[in-house]
Amino acid sequence: MFRTIFAILVILWAPLASAETRIPNSQAEISLGFAPLVKQAAPAVVNIYAKIVTEQRQRSPFMSDPFFDEFFQGFAKPRPRVQNSLGSGVILTADGIVVSNYHVVGMATEIRVVTTDRREYNARVVLADKASDLAILQLDDAAELPFLPLRDSDSVEVGELVLAVGNPFGVGQTVSSGIVSGLARSGSAAGGGLGYFIQTDAAINPGNSGGALIDVNGDLIGVNTRIVSRSGGSNGIGFAIPANLVREFVQQSRNGAEEFMRPWAGMSGQPIDADLAASLGMDLPEGMLISDLHPASPFAKAGFAVGDVITKVDGEVVNSPPEMVFRMTVAGMGSEAEFIRVRDGTETPIKVAMKPAPDDPPANPIQFDEHTTLPGLTVARVNPVIISRMASVPLPDDGVVVLDPGPYGARAGLQAGDVIRAINGAKVSAPTDVLKLMQDSGRRVAMDLFRRGQILKLRFRL
């Protein structure tokens, strides 16, 4: 009975020509199912085979022993290890621009793309971003390929019918159907990662990653990226990266970007709950409270202050920091976005420039060489660029951050992201301060650190 009702509701033959949905008018329309839609859209979804070559060292059973550790330095030579990755991708242009997930192709040394008609292409990554789990590929010698148009993902509504197309478990191209189960799912709800996702109950399994989530018109509304599952298989909770973010990736790749750029907010914030809304005199718990603001932030320059509430970006509601990051990103680098600020119960629209974090003062990274203490240690001055790239660095802050502790720094207890405030009681303001103070420290070193919200004192001997 359920299948019959479902078929009546989903067989939308007219939307192939019109965006307006309707109930089918005849038994012939009902019997067609999704077949016309699949024939139209499936050729633009490809299988991706990626090869990753990593180095793996053989370990001696004595290498973890402090006494024998130095005797085994350089004992094991790295051996190449080949890892194969299987996933899916979506063709976005006739000349072979393909979108997939970073975790499928981001670190690949060799990528092979196979279309539904068994044509094979070599591909290269032109733009990738681990935080967003997106990668843009360019197929070699490709022309006149079928492709999927990008839909405005802000127009997607909960309850819409969708199809997920991909290559689950490597069995071959597979289509599964479902609905949009939820919108504005943040990274925490989706099992981690920086993101803002469309949720669907269409079956998504390993191998579907990078595949298409399409609507009943055959337009791409999202790129399948992950699932929530205890077994590893589909439990009806899958997530797709919205098409609007994919569009920004394509635009930046066409502009020649080597690294995906996000506008810098220079702030930290928190969602508004019922208690916080009551304390702020708000009728409803909505928006995001600004809890900290960097002096160089474009929001500070536009008139925002700590304690203000942001409720909308370009007319779209935001209720958390991940939602605002997403809205700023899809607004596009170099544009101006309109934010609704609530202060003392008054709403004010304010335009803010979408710009990258400034390298001011200059980070001036320094790597310690073999003639210095703690060879391999790499440090830099904390500035907006560092803050934007390292989530563990507080906002605002001064001091010097550890970019890489190196082998000797790691043994001493240093970690990437540590902010060095002082060495043996002397304040640290620049990378050169660390170099000088370490050289003058003698055998004993005491460092004042800030690590993931905690103040630490690290003591070690050279």
Identify the domain containing residue 164 by its residue range: 153-247
Confirm whether 414 is domain-assigned. yes
Same-domain status, 272 and 341: yes
Among the three residues 308, 323, 353, which one is the final residue of a domain in this structure?
353
Same-domain status, 378 and 412: yes
The Cα–Cα gap between 298 and 336 comes to 11
Provide DSSP, 240-309: EEEHHHHHHHHHHHHTT-SS-------EEEEE--HHHHHHTT-SS--SEEEEEE-TT-HHHHHT--TT-E
pLDDT of residue 101: 94
The Cα–Cα gap between 379 and 422 comes to 13
Give me the CATH number covering residue 96: 2.40.10.10
The Cα–Cα gap between 142 and 131 comes to 29
Marked catalytic residue, from 132, 181, 209, 234:
209
Identify whether 371 is a catalytic site residue. no
Domain tally for the chain? Answer: 5
pLDDT of residue 376: 92
**Which element (helix H / strand E) includes 433?**
helix 431-439
Confirm whether 273 is domain-assigned. yes
Confirm whether 376 is domain-assigned. yes
Which among 364, 328, 338, 341 has a CA at the least distance from the CA of 289?
A: 341
Same-domain status, 157 and 234: yes
Confirm whether 292 is domain-assigned. yes
Query: Alpha helices, DSSP H only, in 15-65?
Result: 27-32, 35-41
Confirm whether 38 is domain-assigned. no
Which among 58, 59, 98, 104 has a CA at the least distance from the CA of 81?
A: 58
Confirm whether 64 is domain-assigned. no
Identify whether 294 is a catalytic site residue. no
Same-domain status, 118 and 181: no
Same-domain status, 28 and 47: no
Confirm whether 157 is domain-assigned. yes
pLDDT of residue 390: 83
Q: Is 351 exposed, middle or buried (0-12, 13-18, 19+ CB in 10 A)?
A: exposed
Marked catalytic residue, from 129, 133, 418, 433:
133
pLDDT of residue 74: 52
Cβ-based neighbours of 190, under 8 Å, separated by 6 or more? 197, 199, 225, 226, 228, 239
How far is the CA of 145 from the CAs of 103, 211, 428, in angstroms? Answer: 25, 17, 57
How far is the CA of 119 from the CAs of 84, 127, 375, in angstroms? Answer: 20, 24, 50
Residue pLDDT tens, the chain, 462 long: 444 444 434 444 344 444 456 666 676 665 667 888 999 999 999 999 998 876 555 554 444 554 445 544 555 555 666 667 789 999 999 999 999 999 999 888 899 999 999 999 999 999 999 988 999 999 999 989 999 999 999 999 999 999 999 988 878 889 999 999 988 776 544 444 456 899 999 988 888 889 999 999 999 999 999 877 666 666 778 999 999 999 999 999 999 998 999 999 999 999 999 999 888 888 889 999 999 999 999 999 999 999 999 999 999 999 988 889 999 999 999 999 999 999 988 999 999 999 999 999 899 999 998 888 889 999 999 999 998 888 777 776 678 999 999 999 999 999 999 999 999 999 999 999 998 998 887 788 999 999 988 889 999 887
Marked catalytic residue, from 85, 100, 103, 253:
103
Q: Could you identify the residue written with the tokens 């991708």?
A: 89
Same-domain status, 24 and 80: no
Same-domain status, 293 and 347: yes
Confirm whether 252 is domain-assigned. no
The pair of structure tokens assigned to 350 is 């304010």
Same-domain status, 101 and 127: yes
Identify whether 209 is a catalytic site residue. yes
How far is the CA of 179 from the CAs of 10, 82, 198, 314, 382, in angstroms? Answer: 10, 38, 10, 27, 45
Sign of CA dihedral 267, 272, 273, 274: positive
Same-domain status, 47 and 135: yes
Give me the CATH number covering residue 320: 2.30.42.10
Same-domain status, 371 and 401: yes
The pair of structure tokens assigned to 406 is 């190196």
The Cα–Cα gap between 11 and 373 comes to 70
Among the three residues 322, 353, 384, which one is the final residue of a domain in this structure?
353
